[in-house]
Amino acid sequence: MPVDFSGTWNLVSNDNFEGYMVALGIDFATRKIAKMLKPQKVIKQDGDSFYIHTTSTFRDYLLEFKVGEEFEEDNKGLDNRKCKSLVTWENDKLVCVQTGEKKNRGWTHWLEGDDLHLELRCENQRLPSGTEWFHLLE
């Protein structure tokens, strides 16, 4: 039985989100707002098919993909840079590589008990221990 990331998740910590946003070239005013947000993620997983909807009071972002199939990502409302993204399994971790203008760009999701972790990477920046999201029991 593979891992299941499905559920509703609320952000609890975002260490070094600032550093990640600087690496992405997000302007000061936007960073100030974005840092204060407590986004929610709704993840629907059907085997290797994923729907990840990140919502906040400021911007929303929807990502749908199938593990192992490269796709075009537009990062609309984020940094708006297009890239080619590929998500793969590394054991029970979901690893995304976003190939484009920015080096070393990507993210990794994994579960620890009832917590969802997210590491965001761009250039020389990453969120070291992984941003944590609490599972909302339904």
Provide the binding-site residues for ligand VL7, judged by CB under 6 A.
21, 24, 26, 30, 34, 37, 39, 41, 52, 54, 56, 58-61, 63, 78-79, 107, 118
> Which H or E element spans position 109?
strand 106-112
CB of 50 to ligand VL7, least distance (A): 9
Residue given tokens 């993909």 in the structure block: 65
DSSP E strand stretches across 5-105: 7-13, 40-46, 49-55, 61-66, 71-73, 83-90, 93-99
> In this complex, which beta carbon is closest to ligand VL7, that of residue 52 or of residue 83?
52
CB of 137 to ligand VL7, least distance (A): 20
Residue 59 CB neighbour total at 10 angstroms: 15
CB of 96 to ligand VL7, least distance (A): 7
